[in-house]
Amino acid sequence: MEHKNIIKRRLQETITGRLFKGKVIIVLGARQVGKTTLVENILSELDAPVIELNGDEADVRELLADTTSARLQAIVGRNKIVFIDEAQRISNIGLTLKLFADKLNDIQVIATGSSSFELSAKINEPLTGRKYQYLLYAPSYLEMVDHHGLLTENRLIEHRLIYGYYPEIITHPGEEQELLQLLSDSFLYKDLLLLEDVTKPVLFEKLLKALALQLGSEVSFNELSRLIGANHQTVEKYITLLEKAFVIFRLPAFSRNVRNEIRKGKKFYFYDNGIRNAIINNFQLPSQRTDMGPLWENFLISERTAIPGQA
């Protein structure tokens, strides 16, 4: 991508201000939301030597798993920043990051992960008090206004309601449908259906489509269970996985009585409109749709959710 097409993320300034404070920086987010690009943009503006390590590479996983502080120092050498991409792929990554924080705290470590259910479980206990953790979402309306102006973005709003804001979708006009189908398949098959927790992939896909079709409606686990023919526990477990993979999020009912709030149904929203529409394979124009109300609702609530901040 040419430099002029790089979308500056609002989280960039926040993270830059937390560098070299003696803590590991963790950036979580769904696949393809721009985590690697964000970190590389931050690093490009620093005058410090960097070593980049990718957890997708087998030799990197072997190098960083079950290691020692002396070995880490040898790996890092004279570099002052260590960037570990796809950190969730590395065994015992939490302990490795703890060694950096405790024994090599003059070195700034930045780690990214695309699956919170994998990475968070590995780092939460070892890195207690030793990390700044952030969530990165797909680019927002405000970030796109920053990028190319209010008038241009407002002209594209209906397009965004259908195709969403993923960076690859934004930067490849005319290819949105094909790219969104590939992206939604990546969420399902690479991150979720391959997990041991997903023992019934057919039910899992039915649940995801049911949530997409009931967008903006109040639903309960019992109702979803009846709809897809699964027990309550399976539905609850699969929804939790979808939340931890940054596909959906829940909005509980509001009540001044906490007991009533617990009993009431919940609404489930997608972090990105385009992913939702890819799941039900509906890319019709706004004038031909019957779900523009729910799409606007999803868009507005997900925009509020995506305000930059700590996880």
Chain segment 194-235, per-residue pLDDT in tens = 665 677 788 888 999 999 999 989 988 888 999 999 888 889
For the domain bounded by 141-305, which CATH number is listed? 1.10.10
Pseudo-torsion of CA 77, 81, 84, 90, nearest 10°?
50
What phi and psi values does residue 60 have, to the nearest 5 degrees? Answer: -70, -45
3-135 is a CATH 3.40.50.300 domain: yes
For the beta carbon of residue 282, count every other beta carbon within 10 angstroms.
15
Beta-carbon contacts of residue 141 (< 8 Å; ≥ 6 apart): 153, 157, 160, 165, 303
The Cα 227–Cα 207 span in angstroms is 8
pLDDT in tens, the chain (311 residues): 334 568 889 999 999 999 999 999 999 988 889 999 999 999 999 999 999 999 999 999 999 998 999 999 999 999 999 999 999 889 889 999 999 999 998 999 999 987 665 676 677 778 889 999 999 999 999 999 999 999 999 999 999 999 999 999 999 999 999 999 998 887 676 667 766 567 778 888 899 999 999 998 998 888 899 999 988 888 998 898 888 888 899 987 765 655 555 556 789 999 999 999 999 999 999 999 999 999 999 999 999 887 665 55
Query: Could you give the residue range(s) of every CATH 3.40.50.300 domain in the chain?
Result: 3-135
- Pair type for strands 248-252 and 266-270: antiparallel
Q: 2: burial class by Cβ within 10 Å (0-12, 13-18, 19+)?
A: exposed
- Pair type for strands 266-270 and 218-219: antiparallel
Helix (H, G, I), strand (E, B) or coil at 25: strand
Q: 169: burial class by Cβ within 10 Å (0-12, 13-18, 19+)?
A: buried
Contact 39, 27 (CB under 8 A): yes
Pseudo-torsion of CA 247, 253, 258, 259, nearest 10°?
-100
For the beta carbon of residue 29, count every other beta carbon within 10 angstroms.
23
Report pLDDT for 192. Answer: 74
